[in-house]
Amino acid sequence: PWELDFALRSRFEKKIHVPLPDRDGRTKIFEIHMEDIEVAPSVDFGEFADLTEGYSGRDISVVCREAAMEPIRELQKTGRMDDEREILDIRPVSREDFMEAIENIRPATPPEDVKRYIDWAEGS
């Protein structure tokens, strides 16, 4: 909102702030993004929700995409992508795939910006 001229900004009747998802919301976002992808039984989306506080829905979608790509990268590294049977028999996405993705993908919005948005929405 700070990129808009004050005169233009003041014409808007309402300020709408969409907060970052809470733990339940983050858990659901993981579930939604992975619903059509096979995951290992050890995968606990609640655990990942605990580890991704401060992440937006978009950030979590990137984590899911990264984790889901790891089994494919393994096939590529071993040169087995040319074998159709190997592609059909790809392993499920593991807890370790998610942990690595969470470690490598950081939230796009820094905490200080989140606070600034909240203050703006509350009129401070």
pLDDT tens, 51-72? Answer: 999 999 999 999 999 999 999 9
- pLDDT at position 82 is 66
Q: What is the CATH number of domain 19-116?
A: 1.10.8.60
Closest CA relative to residue 33, chosen from 59, 71, 72: 59
Residues 6+ apart with CB under 8 A from 114: 20, 54
Q: Which residue is it, tokens 């993004």?
A: 33
Instruction: Count other Cβ atoms within 10 Å, centred on residue 27.
Output: 20
- pLDDT at position 7 is 76
pTM metric for this prediction: 0.81
Helix (H) or strand (E) holding 51: helix 45-51
- pLDDT at position 122 is 79
% of the chain with per-residue pLDDT over 90: 56
Closest CA relative to residue 33, chosen from 93, 110, 109: 93
16-34 residue pLDDT tens: 778 899 999 999 999 999 9
Residue ranges of domains in the chain: 19-116
